[in-house]
Structure 1
Amino acid sequence: MRVICKCGHKGRIASRDQLSEDFAKLYCQCLDAKCGHTWVANLTFSHTLSPSAQSFERMLFDRLRDMPSAKQRELFEQLGSQARV
């Protein structure tokens, strides 16, 4: 991904703060030594143009697998309590 400074020169992303799955703050700096501008840009998911070719079940399985074990247990406990209602 390219970032451009307000002065028109190229910039670089120095760091990234991932606030959620769909939103990140990009901390940027101009590569022109005479400028030295630093700024924060927001990167966000907007919308889908074409849905994933993966099945919903596959995506769900992959997301669950990537979660910490404690979070997985918490979700399954919540699902178990919902089924008894």
Structure 2
Amino acid sequence: MRVYCRECGEKGRITNTNRMSLEYAELYCQCRDATCGHTWVETLGYKHVLSPSAKTASQLSFHLSRALSPDAQQDLLAGLQGAR
């Protein structure tokens, strides 16, 4: 990702990122032109989906269940079998 200085138009660098959430971050930027020296904060935000994820709900459920303890996995399996 490229950022540009609003004061002189030169390329800037992102010196730090403050992630506020999965959808929003603040980017701390600095102009690369030493004679300018401008620093600023830009925001980066999620807008919308162009193509949905290839991961299905069943794949996500499987990976989440693997993070459970063995006892919790057995309880989940018993609950699913009882729901049929």
Gaps of 5+ in 1: 70-85
Q: TM-score, normalised by structure 2?
A: 0.68
Amino acid at match of 2:42: A
Residue 39 and residue 61 in structure 1: after superposition, are their counterparts in 2 closer, same or farther (change >3 A)? farther
2:4 maps to 4
* RMSD between aligned residues: 2.4
Q: TM-score, normalised by structure 1?
A: 0.68
1:18 maps to 19
**Cα deviation per residue 1:48-69 (whole Å; 9 max; x = unaligned)?**
011011112334565x58x9x9
Structure with the greater alpha carbon radius of gyration: 2
Identity of aligned residues (%): 52
Amino acid at match of 2:56: S
Between the aligned partners of 2:30 and 2:61, the Cα distance in structure 1 is 37
Residue 61 and residue 44 in structure 1: after superposition, are their counterparts in 2 closer, same or farther (change >3 A)? farther
